Structure 1
C-alpha cells in the first residue's frame, strides 16, 4: 500500500486526486484551445513556453516539493510570474530530455564576485524563453539564486543548475559563486563541465578571484569564452580589460567583437567574424534587449569604425592562422590577397578548433544589466564550446557503453532525502536502476531521475551520456564518488585497463584505482564552537550538521576531546555565518557560536624513531603487536597528508587489509598534532617493522601504530604554521598611506601596488590572525570607500616569539 500512497502524493500534491485529474483535463482542453500562446525565444531559440499565468491557476504550487505528472513526465512548476511553464505534450520536450550528444553543452559561469555572473545567467534564461520576466539580483527574484541568504545578500552561495535550449542545442548551465569562501562550489562544478564562460567587469579586468577560478579551470583543462561585462559603466575600459587578460591570465585573447561606444554611449557591438554591427534598440513598451538591428557594417555608417573593425578582423585572422595550421594554409593560399573575402564560417571553424585545443580564448563584450550582448554570447557558447563527445577522457575506453558517472553535488530535501547531482560520462541509466558506488563499495538504487531547473525539477524516463541530472534514492553517495552499473562492471573495466582484480575489495584494491578524479576539497581556515540552546536539541543539531556537511564538503565538524563540544570548521567568516543562518532557517534550531579562531597547522623539524607494543586479551584471544616507525620532515611538495613509506626490510608486500590498518593508524594521528591538536603538515612516516600475533585484530594494529606515532611526534622538535592570506585592497589614493600603515601593523608584506583607473590596488600577504574582522576596520579607515578580497595563499612557520605567545594564550606555556 505504501507505493500507491506515494504515487498519490506525487501526483496530487494537496487536495483530492479527482480534483487534480480534473485540473489536468481542463489544462489539456485549454492547451488545445490556446496554442497561439506557444512562442519561440529570441534569435532562434527552440524553447517552447506556455503562458505561465494560465498554467498556474489553481493547482501548481510555488517553490515547494510538489510534483505533477505530465503524460509520463513529472514537472515541478512555479506560479511566480518569472517562470515559463513546461508544455503538456511530452513530444515537445523530447529534445530537452534525450538530445543527441553533439547538441549538448555543459557549461559554467565563473567570475570574481560582483562581475555579473548571475545577471548574465538571468538574461540567458530570458532570451532562451525559459523565463518570462527579467530576474534581478537587487530585487531578489533571480532563478539561480534561490536561497534566502542569496537573495538577501545579492550574492551566489551555492552553485545552481538550470537546463534550457538555444538554437537546437541543450545547454546545461551552472551558475557558480564568486566569493572565495565558496570556492569548493566552483571546484566541484568545474570537475563535470565541458566548457565555461568567464565573466569580467570591464572596468576592473582580471581580479583576485578571477585568477583563482581560472587556475581551477586550467587544472581541469576546460575550454573557455571570456565575456567583458558592464560595458555601460563609466569606468569601463575595453583595452585595459583585454590587456589584463593577456598579462595576468597568461593566455591569448581572440577579439571576436568590438564595442560600439563605452559607458553611457555603449549601444551595441561589431561582430568581427561576420563583419556585422548589432545595435540594441529599446521599443516604446520595453527595453528588454529582445529587439536589435543586425546588419553589415558599411562605410556610410561610420568610416572610422569600419577601418577599426577591418584592422581588428585582419589581426584576428592572423592570430588564428598562427595557432591553426589548417586555417593558415587556407589564408595563405586562396585568401592571401584579401582577407575581406574570407567566409565567416571558415573563420568560425578555425576559432572553434583553437578554442577546443585551449590555444586561445574568444573574447566578447556587452552589458547584461542593460540587456546588450547576451544573445551573441549564447551563439558563441553553441559555436565555440565543446559537446561532451568532443572531450577526451581516457577512462571511457574501459567502460565503453557501460555506465560511468560522477556525483559532484548533494542537496538535502526534507521529503525526498538526499538529491545527488551526477554527470554521466558513458552508458545510460533509468529510474529504479541499481548502481554501484566504487568509493563507498556499496550498491544503491536510483529511484528517480530529475532535470534541474534551479529549484524547479522535471522527472525524466532516462539519462544518457553527456548529461547532468539529479538522482533521488542514493543514500550513501557523496561529492566526488564514482558510480557504475555494478561491481562486476567495475571489475570488467579494470580488466579492460589491463589490471588483475581479486575478489577482496579494500582501500588499495585495483577497482579503487578506477575512481574518477574526484573533487579537491580545501582545508578549513576558521573554526568555532557551536552549541544548541539545550541538550534536548543536541540530536537535532547533530542531524543538521551531518546534512550540511554532506552538502558542503568544505565544512568540517569535529568534537573537542576535552569539552565534548561541537567544533565548526569553515573557509571564512562569511562561510561560518551562512551555515549558522541555515541551521536556524532550515532546521529551526537557534545555535550559539563561540568566537572565531584561526585553524593553524603543525609540523616537525627533525627525524626521530619510536617503538610501541600493545598486548591485549579479548574474548580469550591474545592480541599482540609491536610497531617501529620513524617520522621526518617532508621536503617535497607541501601536503596535509602523511607521506607513508615502508623500509627495505619489507621484502614481501603486506596484505592489503593489514596495510590499510597501518595507514589508518598513521592518518588518524596526523589529524591532531602534539602542540595544539591541529593537523600535521609535511611529515614523512617510515614503517620499519610490524610484528603481530596471529590472532591480532586489525583495530588493535591501528591503535598500536597510532600510539607509536604519537610517541615519535612528542620526541620531535615541533613548529606551528599559520595561514597566510593573499589580500587585494582597492582604495582611493587619498587613503593609500593610511591603508599601508595599517597593513604594516598587521605584519603584512606588500607585494605590489598598481593603478586601476582612479584607484590604487594594493596586493599584500597577511597572516589570517591579523585580519579577522578586517571589513569593519577597513571601512573605518577609508570612510567606507575601499573594498578588499581575500584568499588563502599558503601556510608559513611562526617565529618562536609568536609561537610561544600563542601557546601561552592557550595555557600551554
Structure 2
C-alpha cells in the first residue's frame, strides 16, 4: 500500500527586481500568523533576506525558504532574487516548485525579467498566479497593466476581481463571486477563455452558454490553472495587505499540492548548498518520492554528469511554521535541510533520477561575461582560491577557471552587480580585498569542417606508449560533445578508452582560440597499447607498459591537430533586444545602435512611441543601458536577454588565454607533461 506525505505546496515567489516579492513573502507570513511584525526591505528586517549584504543593499541575492500552514497544507515559500544577475538562483528553484506567484508592479507594469520568468514558467508547465502589486501606489494602473500583461506575457489571463481607490492607501480589491461575476461580464469572458482549451466546454458554450454554471467554470479554471494553460490575476498591496487574503484563497484553490509516493525509491534534487557555523555543508533538498531518514546512506550524483558518490545523512530539518525543525525523516513532497553529505553539490540528484526529467537541466541562458579576480595582497592567492571555491559551491555558474601558469583565477558573470556582490562577499565573509580586471565576453568556438589526426605507439614523434586517432566533425547547436568509438571496444582495456573520452571532453573546454567547443562529434579511429610487461622474474616496468596517463597525455595533441584541420570559427553571444523610445528620439537612437553593432529590425509605431527589436552583442548591452536615458530623456525602456551565438565579424578574432599546458605548441607541451628522459629528448627533436 502506497503512503503519501502530509500535504505540501512548494511555492515560488518570482518577479523583476523591486516589484515587491520579499514584501509579499513577509505579508503572507504575517497573515498566516508566523511573524508578529512585518519586516521592511529598506530597513533590512525581512525574514528571507538574511545575508548582511542583502540587508545592506535591499535586494535578494540568495533564494530562501520559509513556511506557513494553509488549511492543513504546509506551504514552503521560496523567495527568489529579482535581479537578472542572480538568475542562476531562480533556475535552481524552478526545479522544485509545485506552483508560483509572479509579481508585477501596478506602476511599472511588465518589465524585462517578468517576461523571461513567465516564458520559462509556461515552458516548464508550472502553475502560476499573477499578483499585480503596489495597487496603493501613486501611478498604479489596472486596465493598462492588464493590457500590458496580455500583450507582453500571455493573453491567457483571468482578472479575478475589480479594484477601487487605485493609487491611494484606501485601494481595495473586490473578488468576483457567483452573483457579481455575471453582472461584470466576468462569466462570459471566462467561458470564452476556458473554451479555447476544452472542446467539451466549447460545445456546451455553443449549444447553450447559459447552461454553464459558475461553479463549473470555477472548477474548470482551477484545472486549467494547474495545467499552466491560464493564469488568474489578483490585485493587491503587500504593504497595506489589500488583496492578500484573496490571493491566499487563490493559492488554496488553484495551485496543486505536491504528490509523491513516500514508500517509493528515494528521488530528490539539491537546489541550494550553504555552510554551517562549523563549516559543514548543508544541502537543501526537495524530495519527490521516498523517505530520507537520519543515518540513511544515499547515492549522490547525476547533476553534472560526474561520477556517482555516496553520503550518510547525519541530521534532517524540515520546514514548518516559519522555520526549519529537526526531524528524523523527510518524506515525498517536502523540502528539507540535510547534513552529512560532504561531497554534495548544487544540481545533484539524491537517490534515483526522476523519470522523464533531465538532471541539471538548464532553463535560462548561461553567463556570457567573465573577469579575472586578483587579491590586493599577493600573499592571499591561496586564500582567494579557497574562498572562490566555497562561493562556487553555492553558485556553480560562476565557473572558476584556475590558470596555474599565470597564477590567476577567473569567474563567469551575468553582470556588473554580481561582480560587486562577489567583491563585497569576499571582503565581509573571508576578509579578502580583491580587484577585477575589465569584464570580457565569453565566446564559443564552433567546428566548421571535418578533421582527423592520429599518432602510433613507438613511432616518432609520439613519445607515449599509446596509439590514438581522432576524427572531429560539427554537430547541431545544442547537441553537446558526442564521443564515439570507430574501433572495437575489446581492442584495449576499457580504462584507456575512458581516459581518452574524459580527456577529449576536458580538452574541448579550450579550442584553437582558447574558447570552449560546445557542439561536435569526436570519433576514435585508432587505438593501440602495450600490455602490462615486466623483465624476466622482475616487477612491472612502466617503460614497457601502457598506462592511462599515456592516453591522457597524447589525446590533447591528437585532438588539437584534428581540430586545426577541421577549423573553428569564434562565435560571440547575442542578445535579442526590445526597445521602446519616444518617436522624436528614434533619429538619435539608431546611429548609437549601429555604433554598438546592434542590428535593429524596422521600427514600428506604438502610439507616441516607437518600438525597435533586434540583436545586439552581449558585450554592448551595458553600454546601451548607460546611454539610453540621455538619448530618450529617461523615457526609453530596454529589455534584452541572451538569444544565440553569431560568428564574430571583423578582422580581429578574439582569443582567450589558455590555462592548460597548451597542446597547440608541441615542444613546450611535451616539456611540461613528460618526465622521462627519452621522451624529453624526443620532444626536443620535434618541430
Q: TM-score, normalised by structure 1?
A: 0.71
2:569·2:647 contact (CA, 8 Å) conserved in 1? yes
Distance 1:751 1:387 in 2: 45
Deviations 1:205-248 (A, max 9, x none): 44322232223323432111122223344544433433444444
> SS of the counterpart of 2:400?
strand
Residue of structure 2 equivalent to 1:313: 187
Distance 1:204 1:654, change over 3 A: farther
Distance 1:455 1:653, change over 3 A: farther
Residue of structure 1 equivalent to 2:671: none
> SS of the counterpart of 2:218?
helix
Distance 1:325 1:258 in 2: 29
Residue of structure 2 equivalent to 1:472: 339
Mapping 1:83-482, distance limit 5 Å? 101=5, 103-250=7-154, 252-264=156-168, 267-275=171-179, 309=184, 311-321=185-195, 323-324=197-198, 337=210, 342=213, 344=215, 346-389=216-259, 401-439=264-302, 440-452=307-319, 457-482=324-349
Q: TM-score, normalised by structure 2?
A: 0.83
Distance 1:757 1:273, change over 3 A: farther
Distance 1:583 1:442, change over 3 A: same
Give the one of 608, 621, 629 matched to 2:470: 629
> SS of the counterpart of 1:606?
coil
TM-superposed deviation, 1:526: 1.6
Residue of structure 2 equivalent to 1:595: 438
Distance 1:515 1:745, change over 3 A: closer
Distance 1:562 1:787, change over 3 A: farther
Distance 1:113 1:755 in 2: 28
Distance 1:543 1:808 in 2: 24
1:638 and 2:478 are equivalent in the alignment: yes
Distance 1:569 1:257 in 2: 45
2:450·2:565 contact (CA, 8 Å) conserved in 1? no
Distance 1:725 1:201, change over 3 A: same
> SS of the counterpart of 1:388?
coil
Deviations 1:293-318 (A, max 9, x none): xxxx5xxxxxxxx8752x11232144
Distance 1:513 1:259, change over 3 A: closer
Of stretches 208-217 and 538-547 in structure 1, the one that deviates more from structure 2 is: 208-217
Residue of structure 2 equivalent to 1:557: 400
Aligned residues: CA RMSD: 3.5
Distance 1:642 1:808 in 2: 20
Distance 1:651 1:582, change over 3 A: closer
Distance 1:457 1:425 in 2: 19
2:182·2:188 contact (CA, 8 Å) conserved in 1? no
> SS of the counterpart of 2:593?
helix
Distance 2:579 2:152 in 1: 17
Distance 1:703 1:561, change over 3 A: same
Residue of structure 1 equivalent to 2:553: 703
Distance 1:209 1:538 in 2: 36
TM-superposed deviation, 1:423: 0.6
Distance 1:582 1:163 in 2: 27
Of stretches 408-417 and 786-795 in structure 1, the one that deviates more from structure 2 is: 786-795
Distance 1:381 1:173, change over 3 A: same
Distance 1:652 1:752 in 2: 60
TM-superposed deviation, 1:337: 4.0
Of stretches 767-776 and 369-378 in structure 1, the one that deviates more from structure 2 is: 767-776
Distance 2:202 2:637 in 1: 46
Unaligned runs of 5+ in 1: 1-98, 276-296, 298-305, 485-489, 491-510, 617-621
Distance 1:132 1:773, change over 3 A: farther
1:518 and 2:355 are equivalent in the alignment: no
Distance 1:659 1:179 in 2: 44
Distance 1:756 1:150 in 2: 38
Distance 1:524 1:553 in 2: 11
2:161·2:176 contact (CA, 8 Å) conserved in 1? yes
Residue of structure 2 equivalent to 1:506: none
> SS of the counterpart of 1:162?
strand
2:515·2:655 contact (CA, 8 Å) conserved in 1? no
Deviations 1:615-648 (A, max 9, x none): 69xxxxx9722122222232x2335x3233343x
Distance 2:394 2:648 in 1: 34
Give the one of 588, 600, 613 matched to 1:738: 588
2:294·2:313 contact (CA, 8 Å) conserved in 1? yes
Deviations 1:374-408 (A, max 9, x none): 1211111111111112x8xxxx7xx9523221111
2:466·2:554 contact (CA, 8 Å) conserved in 1? yes
Distance 1:674 1:700 in 2: 22
> SS of the counterpart of 1:371?
coil
Distance 1:413 1:262, change over 3 A: same
Residue of structure 2 equivalent to 1:720: 570
Of stretches 360-369 and 751-760 in structure 1, the one that deviates more from structure 2 is: 751-760
Deviations 1:421-444 (A, max 9, x none): 001111212333322214452221
TM-superposed deviation, 1:773: 4.8
Distance 1:367 1:523 in 2: 34
